[in-house]
Every structure is written in structure tokens, then in C-alpha cells.
A and B are shown apart, each in its own frame.
Chain A
Amino acid sequence: MEFTGKTWKFGDNINTDLILPGRAQLFTEEEQLRCVFEANRPGWIDEVAKGDVLIGGHNFGMGSSRPAARSLRNTGLACMVAESINGLFYRNCVNWGFLALECEGISTAFEEGDEAKVSFEDFTVTNNRTGDVLQGRVVPEVLLNTMKAGGVLPLLEAEGLIAAAE
């Protein structure tokens, strides 16, 4: 699995309340999508396009357990790469099926708008403008398979443990 896309850069400690504000917690998925980064980057949600790649800093996704990873997935982003990903947010990336990779040095290797090639085979990230190749942290196979399968809900559905989405 490999993606090539335009990058959007975000800093360190981007928190879940910025991705999915508290006021939107009980909104529908579509309504939640409209609120992504409204406080720190108003208008971004209209600029991001399907297949783009988000580049984050350290401890991306700190904060709440809310389904912020689902909102990012719903923006159409192909995947995200960050210096480091918050533990709880990483769980949510796995379990909501949003491909996420940790890669040291990513935020200095990219300027916003650079084209990135992200491989979930060998976990490398290439900056197609500079030619730089960075090695990301290997995602354990079981977690990667869950991410690729769209998270745990389809799995539980297939096992007859939860009802299908309406």
C-alpha cells in the first residue's frame, strides 16, 4: 500500500479538540467533518483534497478519546505521518481505520505543499521535491491489517458481534 499526495503541515501537540471540537461531539459524522481544525486553521476543510497527506509534529492527537481520527479519515486524507503520535490517538487511528505512520524528522524534511510518497510496505516516506527518503517506525502487522481493513468495526460486524451500520 503506497500513497502519493500533496502535504499539509501541522505543528507539535495538535490536540483532539482542534480536530473535533467538544461542541461537535454529538453531531453527525458529516457535521463533525465541517468542524475539523476550525479553531486553529479555519477554512482548511475546504482546501484539503482527496488523497492529500497530513504531516504532523510531536505527540499528534493528544487529548480526548473522541472519534477525531474518524473525522480526519473522512476528510479524504490518504494517510498521516507525524514525528510521533499520541498513544490514544494512535489506537483510534487503528480502530477507525485511518492509516497513520510515525517518522522522526518528518516535519523538517517537508515544506507544506511538497509531494510525499508514503509506503505502508516498507514504512518509508519520500519527499518527491527534494528526493529525501525517511524511514518510519514499523507498524505491527496485526495493527496495520486492522487499519487497512477500515478499523475494528467491520471486523466485529463480520463476526456477528455488532449490527451493521445503518
Chain B
Amino acid sequence: MGMTAIEKILAKNSGQDVVKPGDLVVVQVGTAVLYDNNFAPSIWRDILKIHDREKVVVVFDHRVPAKDIVSATAQKIGRDFVKKFNIERFHDVGAKQGISHVLIADHGYALPGSVLVCGDSHTCSAGVFNCAARGTGAPDMFYAVTKGETWFRVGETIRYDFEGKLNAPVSMKDVFLHIADTYGSHANQNVEFGGGALPGLSINARRTMTTMCAELSAEFATFEPDEVMLDYVRERNPAPFEAQYPDEDATYLDRRTINLGEMEPLVALPDTVLENSQKIGEVAGTQINQAFIGSCANGTLDDFAAAAAVLKGNKVSSDVRLIVTPGTQNIYLEALRHGYVETLIEAGAVVTNATCGACGGGHLGILAAGESCITASTRNFKGRMGDPDSKVYMGSPATVAASAIKGTIADPRDFLN
């Protein structure tokens, strides 16, 4: 009996020929990514020995530059750790600054066929590179960094095949909301993506999908390898790797085909994305106070381009704060060179430095009680972006930009020629 892509990656890295759903496997960790929250004084334990410094990456992303004394202290502890063990792949405040999952992509840290762990839940993002990438807790990270291994429960796999072509401004965010709305939770399941539409989907678009799989509660999200992805990694990292293709007779819990041409803009209502989205026309007119584009899911150059296409020549409503946060400082620079930042600022947006920022309610755009926000970021839990009595709607960057102009949730197709 054949294996799915994720089963093959877990088998390879646990030294077994076969793994199957229900197994508990111990795997070698290829890359362990520590981030600023791991160094928080209420979490951090001084590490005395590490397994392999070359497998460690350190990123400060949630609250950069430090927004208060506690986050400054965490970053100081992190810098001491980097110095003590001479960690080379370190992303401090500055030119290399950014959100861990975006940096992992941009630097080719996630090698196809390998295992990557990070203490942030959206680590499934790197599954786009055919990598068993999973968010873990802080104790897991101490374990992985000191012992070089970790454990996983093997779940069953759902296969999604993408066919056809997206009609702009419909984006992978809308496709994700469609999957979350139609199929709900994927708890204890893996998700594998493939299909004839792959060559036409950019790595950024695919990564929006894998990142958002955290919101499905999926264990692992992986894309089937293709030349677009393999070239992307090879251009960024000379290290050898062995991509893992699903077997033809792999066993899936279910196979679902998504025709991208049939997708349209969707908006998730507050508190969850699971079975909770509506077509844009049904929520249009809902008052908003803030609009946000950013995070590991939507802080890419593609997202800047989508927002700028809608905002060009328009003005953000005087009743709305539009906040745009790039995924990395490098994306910020690219967005400047492409003229997107100018378009956004002229329209009335505030473009911040690269950080997780408003997505997690950490800083740079927190909501007050009674306020509503429409966001193109990762998560819309109750109180996620501020006061427990604030509301978070979720849509694509184009939908967020259109809503910022109108002052109420709006259809981006009304703002494009």
C-alpha cells in the first residue's frame, strides 16, 4: 500500500520504510526555528548544550522593534543565546528582519523532504516546500534544539486537487475560506495539495494556503513537489535534498477537487473561519473601523500588488485606519521599488515595518471594545486583535483594500477595471 507525501517524509526522517495513520514516530529535525516569544522571561530556560547549531534559526518577529520592556528583555536573551552558540542564521531587527515563516521561504530554510519545527502555530506555512513543517510549543523547541529530534502522531491525509485558474482579484485566501467554510475542521488530519493548476500558482499564493491550514487545525499541510517549487528552493539554498512525491496508490481519507475558476470573494465572520464564511455580497455594507493586510499569510509582494491595484487612485475612508505590514524588510524594499508603497501611502494607508504586528494583537494596530476590523492575516478569534469585545472579519487583501476605501465591507471587483 502506498503512502501520501507527508507519510513518506515522516518515514524517511524516522528511518522507517513505512509509516501509517495511528503511528507515533520519532523524527530527526532538519531545521529548528526559535522566535522572540520563546525567549520571553516567563518561558525561556537557559540552554546548556545544543544538538547542532547549524540546524538552528533564530528570528525576532512578533514584537519588533521591541514594543515594551518585556519584549526588549526577550530579545536581549535571544541575542545572548545566538552569541553563546554562534548561530549564523539570525534575523534581528534590521535588514534581515521579518516574520519567521516568510523568511523561511525567502531563504530556502525549509528543504523538501525534511522536517522543520518552530514554536509558532503557522509553521505549516513551510509545507509548501514539501517539508514536514509543524508548529510546536516552547518545550518542544527546547527538546528539538537540545536533542535534535521530536515526535509526531501520524494522521490520515485529505487530498485537494486544484484545477482551472483564479479570476483576479479572487485569491488563494478566498480559496482557503471556501475550503474552511465547506469542509470545516481538519483536526488530526494532514492536508496534501496538488492538481493541474499548480504551475499557475506562485509560491506566495501556495504559501498563503499552507499557512492558513493552521486554522483548519491540520497536522501537516504539504504541496506535491513541482519544478516551480524545486527551482525556488535551489535558487535560495545550495543544500541537497530529496523531495517526496505521493505514491500513486497512496491512501487518502478523502479526495476533493477545487475548480479555481468557480471561486469568488468570501468573507469569514468574526470568531472562526470554520464553516463561517459568506459571499461578499451578503456582508457588504458592514461597518468597519480598521483594515489590516499583513502576517505570515498575506504580507508578500503579491499581497502588496493586489492591495495597490485596488487602492490606486482611491482614498481610504476617513472612518477607517488601513494598516499594511510587510512580511519582511526585503518585501518592504521590493514593494517600494515597485511603487506599491507610494500608492498605498497616497491612498491613506499606514505602512509599518515588517513584524507580526496587528495580526496577533501584539502591537501596531490594536482594536478597542466595540470596534470592527477586516483583516487579511491569519486568525479571527474573539479578541485576537485587541479587546475581547472587538470583531474581526477576514478576507483577501483585495477585499480588505476595497473595504478600507468604502468604510464598510466591499467587493474588490467594484474597484478594478
Query: Is the beta-carbon distance between A65 and B138 smaller than 8 angstroms?
Result: yes
Query: Is the beta-carbon distance between B384 and A22 smaller than 8 angstroms?
Result: yes
With A58-B185, A161-B147: A26-B70 Cβ-Cβ less than 8 Å: yes
Q: Count of B residues near A, CB < 8 Å?
A: 51
B159-193 CB contact bits vs A (8 Å, 1 = yes)? Answer: 00000000000000000000000000101100000
> Counting CB contacts under 8 A, is B295 at the interface?
no
A101-137 CB contact bits vs B (8 Å, 1 = yes)? Answer: 0000000000000000000000000000000000000
Query: Taking the nearest CB of chain A, how far is it from the CB of B268, in angstroms?
Result: 14
Query: Taking the nearest CB of chain B, how far is it from the CB of A4, in angstroms?
Result: 28
The stretch that binds A, out of B46-54, B203-211, B233-241, B398-406, is B46-54
- Give Cα A7–Cα B187 distance, bound, in whole angstroms: 25
- Give Cα A139–Cα B272 distance, bound, in whole angstroms: 29
- How many CB-defined contacts (below 8 Å) exist between A and B? 139
Query: Is the beta-carbon distance between B388 and A87 smaller than 8 angstroms?
Result: no
Query: Is the beta-carbon distance between A65 and B24 smaller than 8 angstroms?
Result: no
Contacts of A91 in B (CB 8 A): 136-137, 140
B24 CB contact (under 8 Å) in A17, A67, A86, A142: A142
B140-160 CB contact bits vs A (8 Å, 1 = yes)? Answer: 101100110001010100000
Query: Taking the nearest CB of chain A, how far is it from the CB of B29, in angstroms?
Result: 14
A163 CB contact (under 8 Å) in B24, B48, B147: B48
Query: Is the beta-carbon distance between A25 and B40 smaller than 8 angstroms?
Result: yes
A152 CB contact (under 8 Å) in B68, B135, B140, B217: B140
> Counting CB contacts under 8 A, is B37 at the interface?
yes
Query: Taking the nearest CB of chain B, how far is it from the CB of A38, in angstroms?
Result: 7
A147-161 CB contact bits vs B (8 Å, 1 = yes)? Answer: 000011100110111
Query: Taking the nearest CB of chain A, how far is it from the CB of B115, in angstroms?
Result: 14
- Give Cα A38–Cα B119 distance, bound, in whole angstroms: 24
Contacts of B119 in A (CB 8 A): 65
Q: Can you sample 14 A-B contacts with CB below 8 Å?
A: A17-B382, A22-B383, A23-B361, A26-B70, A29-B42, A39-B383, A63-B381, A65-B121, A92-B137, A142-B24, A156-B142, A162-B142, A162-B146, A165-B45
